[in-house]
Structure 1
Amino acid sequence: MTTVANSLRGLCGGALHLPGDPGYDTARMPWNVTVDQRPAAVAYPADAAEVAAVVRAAAVAGLRVAAQGTGHSAGPLGPLDDVVLLRTSAMTGVTVTGRTARAEAGALWVDVVEQAAPHGLAALHGSSPDVGVVGYTLGGGIGWYARAHGLQCNAVTAVELVTADGTLLRVDAASEPDLFWALRGGGGNFGVVTAVEFDLIPVSRVYAGMLAWDWREAGRVLPAWLDWAATAPAEVTTALRLLQVPAIPQLPAVLHDRQVVAIDGAVLGPAGPDLLAPLRALKPFLDTFDDAPAASLIRLHLDPEGPTPSVSRSALLGDLPAAAVDALLAVAGPGSGSSLLVPAELRQLGGALGRPAPGGGALSALNGSFALFSAGIAATPAMGEAAVADAARVAAAMAPWTTGAYLNFAEERVEASAAFGASALRRLRSIRAAVDPSGLFVANHSI
Structure 2
Amino acid sequence: MTLTTPDPHPLDRRSSDLGPLVEAAPGRVHLPGTPGYDAARMPWNLAVDQRPAAVAVPQTVEEVVALVRTARRLGLRVAPQSTGHGAAPLHGRLAGSLLLRMHELTGVRVDGAARTARVVGGTTWAPVVHAAAEHGLTAAHGSAPDVGVVGYTLSGGMSFYGRQHGLAVNHVRAVELVTPDGRLVRCSATEESELFWAVRGAGGNLGVVVAVEIDLLPLAEVYAGMLLWEASATDRVVSTWARWVHDLPESVTTSLRVMHFPPIPDLPPFLSGRDVVVVDGAVLEEDAEAERLLAPLRDLAPEMDTFGRVPTPALLDVHMDPPMPTPAATAHAVLGHLDVAGVAAFVRASMEPSGLMFTELRHVGGAFARAPRTAGVLGSLPGDLVLHCVGVAPTPEAFAAVQRDAAAVLTTMRPWRLDGRSLTFTDEPDMTPGACADAFTAEDWARVAEVRSTVDPGGVMQAAVEVG
User: Which position in structure 2 is the counterpart of 1:292?
Assistant: 310
- Is 1:188–2:204 an aligned residue pair? yes
User: Which position in structure 2 is the counterpart of 1:279?
Assistant: 297
Following the alignment from structure 1 to structure 2, what is the Cα–Cα distance between the partners of residues 170 and 217?
A: 52
Correspondent of 1:387 among 392, 402, 407: 402
Following the alignment from structure 2 to structure 1, what is the Cα–Cα distance between the partners of residues 253 and 53?
A: 42
User: Which position in structure 1 is the counterpart of 2:104?
Assistant: 90
1:382–1:166 Cα change, 3 Å:
closer
User: Which position in structure 2 is the counterpart of 1:306?
Assistant: 324
1:300–1:251 Cα change, 3 Å:
farther
Matches within 5 A, 1:208-287: 208-248=224-264, 251-270=267-286, 271-287=289-305
Deviation (angstroms), 1:258: 1.5
Deviation (angstroms), 1:9: 1.6
Following the alignment from structure 1 to structure 2, what is the Cα–Cα distance between the partners of residues 247 and 176?
A: 53
Correspondent of 2:70 among 24, 32, 57: 57
Report the TM-score, using the length of structure 2 for normalisation: 0.92
CA contact (8 A) 2:119 2:211 kept: yes
Report the TM-score, using the length of structure 1 for normalisation: 0.96
Unaligned runs of 5+ in 1: none
Correspondent of 1:422 among 428, 442, 459: 442
Deviation (angstroms), 1:101: 0.5
* Paired amino acid for 2:107: G
- Is 1:172–2:177 an aligned residue pair? no
Work out the number of aligned pairs and report it.
Answer: 444
Deviation (angstroms), 1:358: 2.9
1:250–1:115 Cα change, 3 Å:
farther
* Partner-residue secondary structure (3-state), 2:367: helix
Deviation (angstroms), 1:368: 1.1
Following the alignment from structure 1 to structure 2, what is the Cα–Cα distance between the partners of residues 310 and 279?
A: 30
Deviation (angstroms), 1:255: 2.8
Matches within 5 A, 1:34-113: 34-78=47-91, 79-98=93-112, 99-113=115-129
* Partner-residue secondary structure (3-state), 2:296: helix
Deviation (angstroms), 1:315: 1.4
1:316–1:274 Cα change, 3 Å:
same
1:186–1:6 Cα change, 3 Å:
same
Matches within 5 A, 1:363-402: 363-402=378-417
* Paired amino acid for 2:454: A
* Partner-residue secondary structure (3-state), 1:119: coil
User: Which position in structure 2 is the counterpart of 1:163?
Assistant: 179
1:438–1:382 Cα change, 3 Å:
closer
Percent of counterpart pairs with the same letter?
Answer: 49
1:151–1:282 Cα change, 3 Å:
same
Matches within 5 A, 1:408-419: 408-412=424-428, 413=431, 415-419=435-439
Deviation (angstroms), 1:400: 2.6
* Paired amino acid for 1:23: G
* Paired amino acid for 1:328: F
* Paired amino acid for 1:420: F
Deviation (angstroms), 1:319: 1.4
- After superposing the two structures, state which structure 1 stretch, 7-16 or 96-105, moved more: 7-16
CA contact (8 A) 1:12 1:46 kept: no
Unaligned runs of 5+ in 2: 1-11
CA contact (8 A) 1:187 1:445 kept: no
Correspondent of 1:135 among 142, 151, 158: 151
Give CA deviations for 1:103-162 in whole Å, capped at 9, x if unaligned: 111101001011111110000000000000011111011011011111111100010010
- After superposing the two structures, state which structure 1 stretch, 225-234 or 252-261, moved more: 252-261
